[in-house]
Amino acid sequence: MDAAKVGVDDAVFFCRHHSQKSVDLHQELKNRGVFTVYDIDDLVGFYPAYFDLGSGAERAKLSVFKHISLATKISVENSVIGNELEGLGVSRNDIHVIPNSYDFESFSAVKCSSGEVSKNIIFTNAAGLKFESFRNDFFSAVNEFCETTGCLVHVFSDLPQESFKFTRMLYRGATDWRSHKHILQTEDFLFSLVPLGGREDPESLRFNSAKSIVKFIEYGASKIPGVFSNVEPYRSRLNNGVDALLVNNDKDSWLEAMSEIEAGVEFRESMVRNAYENVLKNYSTEIVLDKYCALLGIKN
């Protein structure tokens, strides 16, 4: 982007950027009086070790703080991030809570089903595995379940295949954003797996607790029921047994949950309906657009 070509009546959004190039651009826009928004959907700048940023972690943190100081307004995915920023001295008036959203107009679920109950489970993971202490028991629980039921875990990830210890796995690698949406909307999955470290992983607890619920939003809109760790942010934003299944991070609890959702057809279908309605009501693009308009001071 050429800052000189941006009009003073325009608004520029920076979404999680922390490169020096983006900081320099933001500074130039600030000097010209352009309205800018720094958009944060997790606790950037406080990345735990599983991101493996190495020596770049401190540079990223400093860049994030610089963006925050330059921005006219800051949009955050949830109030936990907002509270963290307020604790760092950011004015509450400059923080707007705007959750992730789903564009139902562009993407709608049209499942390609054989009529039989699917044996496919979906597991999506970007960056590092976000659970440490529970890792061995998680893979053990899923492997035992799959060996018993014949289910197959479809893994979508930018991590190498050997990072995953599933014994029944179809590794599908990294997919671009639009292709992944299409897969979720058209392929038939029995349920999704969404493990996340909680208090048993103290080093990453602060970051994990501030994560977005984008996986619930995408799976819910795609009519895929989900099994989630019973930790924040899921515990306070999802409804256990209604639109998601929240499970304690131990092997027996996950085995029980997977068996319950696999065996209960009506339970599964009810969860799908409720999750879809939750996303449609609270996280559709139309709903979130009003919040962005309020941030910019314009009427939708």
CATH top class, domain 120-282: alpha beta
- pLDDT per position as a tens digit, 60-70: 888 989 999 99
Question: Cβ distance 54 to 90 under 8 Å?
Answer: no
- pLDDT per position as a tens digit, 146-201: 999 999 999 999 998 989 999 999 999 999 989 999 999 999 999 999 999 999 99
Mean pLDDT of the chain: 91
Question: Cβ distance 157 to 124 under 8 Å?
Answer: yes
Q: Which CATH superfamily is domain 3-100+284-296 in?
A: Glycogen Phosphorylase B; (3.40.50.2000)
- What is the phi/psi pair of residue 268, to 5°? -65, -45
- pLDDT per position as a tens digit, 18-29: 888 999 999 999
Tell me the residue ranges of DSSP E strands in 174-232.
191-194, 226-229
Tell me the residue ranges of DSSP E strands in 72-151.
73-76, 95-97, 120-125
Q: Both tokens of residue 167?
A: 């014994």
Question: Cβ distance 244 to 275 under 8 Å?
Answer: yes
pLDDT (mean) for 281-292? 92
Question: Cβ distance 30 to 70 under 8 Å?
Answer: yes
Residue extent(s) of CATH 3.40.50.2000 domains in the chain: 3-100+284-296, 120-282
Out of 4-8, 101-105, 200-204, 274-278, least confident range: 4-8
pLDDT-derived band of residue 59, with 50, 70 and 90 as boundaries?
confident
